[in-house]
Structure 1
């Protein structure tokens, strides 16, 4: 377990260090009006490869794919450190996102492989704590280096840490590789699913993020990209349901009520979690006028408590076998905290801001990992990797859509507010929109106050959108099914009408060997023979296997 914690801490540092430094980076490269794409490009690539890693780890082995993921993250960060333009930076950050899509995902799968279900709440709580620790360290690293005008070294430090982690994995994790020829393994990859899912996400996110700012909402570019994204999404569903012999997202999982609800809920959780990580530092720096380092310190004040609340939630679930009440409480508290953030103004006292963020920390700690416990408790053990990948995929996709939609709201409102400011010249307005913090010391006091008020108005509407997403997450949490998991197998639950119910599943504490499960092995044999069961038969078999 210690190395898995190191991986999650490293992953958290990469995310929060970059988001804290983002305002300064945007200023230096004249990209403040598009700097949210520093996070969006990362999440788009991360999301596109989440599902891929889950299945590829079944095919090639957990250890191999974990090292491959870290390699992409290291290479991407090294390239980011040499970026000269916003476009270069966002493209290189996408390469990092390809790697980020596997680190958190595979680490969780490894935990699911070696930890029994009855103990999983405790260990997922520890993972939540490790994530929060990384989130806490990151703002100091990013803020400190950005404040010293050395933000390029931020990417280099993370790359060096990644290289060390790859070496540790080689010597410490003793996972057996999956046997079989390279050709056999390559034949199992769902290439059509990978291409269609990533294309759909990119085609949808680009116009959503740039609509109203870079593109006209009624223009041909936006309409064309949205249409292409929708078509790719429909084709992805058809491929996964009818053509793919080893799909990256088995549609049979959506026959199970709780995993299906968790996937949708995770989408909303991703929207508010990643969105807040990005826009809270922007509030501190653009509206309150704090330096990146001080902003990082304030972010630290609410990310550290997330670790303790996550650990507490995990141990509570292990002790009581009840996860639904934690998920509901977390969603309710988180939604309340997001609603309170709408009240933030340039004049709001620091104690009130940090107090609201402490409430936010409780919701985050209760929500991040407990949803995975619920999904794994109500799905077949053979689907551990794809269930984990699916949950992470929808959470990351929500983060990408959340940042894209938040950027569209923020840029539209700020541009509108700036157009009505009379205390700034046209050139000063243009400069502030492109490089939000570079001109503040040369502005008249009244003009600076008006600019900060405009930034605040945009952020208030962003936080209002996050509150609505949180309310949707809370609503869904009431319909999650709770099952008892213990050392003794629970009685099966009968299916009810409507969306199929699921029975609980238990996992014994067995050592992980990365040997493909029976369903996967059957699919491989079908591939080699050029045969495949019909989709209907596959779905019926999967439902029967899960005890429905």
Structure 2
């Protein structure tokens, strides 16, 4: 298990960089007006992989060995690497490697990660491994809070280029998109995580069958994400799509909370289909909204922050859901760590899972409330920062003229 955790951690380092850089590169070479369709395609690919990956892993685990869930990434990674080296041509950035390393906010990253881990550990352990008022729960919470305060100080006073530059948070849309992305990521990952558990632990489906049922979500996500991206490019708007599909997401999440141990097949397929449509219409639209609110030189960091908050929402939501699930099962005398005991009590597991689904409704609701504060900016047809540069030059000229006249 230790080797598995370390390996997944290393893989996560690479995945975190790739997810951000793909979006940043698109932002750098495509105009805001055309960015919607490209972001829509990226969002569709992300959603598809998030669902089909576990499906493929389940098939491999059943038909072969779970090790192939990791082996299969090797040829895929090799093909991606060759494609990037061969096709992606980017200009070199001036400066030595040492100078570039000095600009990385290692201290800010470390303090944030450690602080969040402390809080998540207490959240996972609370009521399950230890009592909520025990030293093992209270101490990590306190340590995590102190380290996160240190993180704020580092970002505000120490870091040369902080991972969370506070100046961007003076913009209402930047704040709204980040808060909305946090809760959107939490809702998305929570449902992706707990829907298969319903299929397998309550209905008794195999991992393969569970993955096949999730294809309904994949189909609607792919369809809506692509259509929304094209519509954003054509009409130059994004707020109506965020609001409308977020509302659809809420409806889908509410419907999931009505699942029972004997829900018919059409409900098992339709409700994830609705959720997939909600995800497809909002996931990438929020990134476009955040990118339009900042100058071109800040697009990379703004995109990274949005992805950062979305990822943190995913982690927190799954941890909170797991805590709810485990505490309810423990309260009913079922050991959540004993697989045979869990599958022997599907009714109790369904009741616990229903509470998790009910709690998940609050995540897209909070995301929609935050999204209401997103402003509509013009989606420019120019590539790069030409519009911002022109505006800044004009302002500088006006200031120079005023100084001369004075």
Query: Same fold by TM (over 0.5)?
Result: yes
The equivalent residue for 1:478 is 372
What is the TM-score when the length of structure 1 is the normalising length?
0.68
Query: What is the distance in 1 between the residues matched to 2:300 and 2:78?
Result: 25
- Secondary structure, aligned partner of 2:361: helix
Instruction: Give ranges in structure 1 of 5+ residues lacking alignment.
Output: 1-84, 420-428, 441-447, 488-506, 512-516, 519-540
The equivalent residue for 1:41 is none
Equivalent residues of 2:216, 2:270 under 8 A apart:
no
The equivalent residue for 1:305 is 220
**Displacement after TM superposition at 1:509 (Å):** 5.6
The equivalent residue for 1:206 is 121
Equivalent residues of 2:185, 2:311 under 8 A apart:
yes
- Secondary structure, aligned partner of 2:307: helix
2:210 to 285, 290, 295: 295
Misfit runs of 4+, over 4 Å: 437-440
Q: How many residues in Structure 1 have an aligned counterpart in Structure 2? A: 390
The equivalent residue for 1:360 is 275
The equivalent residue for 2:100 is 185
Q: How does 1:317-336 map to 2 (within 5 A)?
A: 317-336=232-251
Cα deviation, 1:84-117, whole Å, max 9, x if unaligned, reads: x3x4433432222222211111100000010001
Equivalent residues of 2:43, 2:284 under 8 A apart:
yes
Query: What is the distance in 2 between the residues matched to 1:205 and 1:267?
Result: 15
The equivalent residue for 1:436 is 339
Cα deviation, 1:373-404, whole Å, max 9, x if unaligned, reads: 10011111110110000000000000011111
Structure 2 residue 252 is the aligned partner of structure 1 residue 377: no
Equivalent residues of 1:139, 1:300 under 8 A apart:
no
2:161 to 246, 270, 279: 246
Structure 2 residue 253 is the aligned partner of structure 1 residue 338: yes
2:43 to 128, 131, 139: 128
Query: What is the distance in 1 between the residues matched to 2:6 and 2:322?
Result: 18
Query: What is the distance in 2 between the residues matched to 1:126 and 1:335?
Result: 23
2:111 to 171, 196, 211: 196
Q: Aligned pair in 2 of structure 1 residues 123, 437: CA closer, same or farther (>3 Å)?
A: farther
Equivalent residues of 2:220, 2:274 under 8 A apart:
no
The equivalent residue for 1:156 is 71
Query: What is the distance in 1 between the residues matched to 2:52 and 2:195?
Result: 16
Instruction: Give ranges in structure 2 of 5+ residues lacking alignment.
Output: 390-395, 400-406
Equivalent residues of 1:139, 1:297 under 8 A apart:
no
Q: How does 1:460-479 map to 2 (within 5 A)?
A: 460-479=354-373
Structure 2 residue 61 is the aligned partner of structure 1 residue 146: yes
- Secondary structure, aligned partner of 2:214: helix
The equivalent residue for 1:388 is 303
Structure 2 residue 383 is the aligned partner of structure 1 residue 508: yes
- Secondary structure, aligned partner of 2:72: helix
Equivalent residues of 1:337, 1:359 under 8 A apart:
yes
**Displacement after TM superposition at 1:140 (Å):** 3.1
- Greater alpha carbon shift after TM alignment, 217-226 vs 386-395: 217-226
2:181 to 251, 258, 266: 266
- Secondary structure, aligned partner of 1:434: coil
Equivalent residues of 2:184, 2:367 under 8 A apart:
yes
Equivalent residues of 1:131, 1:307 under 8 A apart:
no
**Displacement after TM superposition at 1:176 (Å):** 2.4
Query: What is the distance in 1 between the residues matched to 2:220 and 2:307?
Result: 22
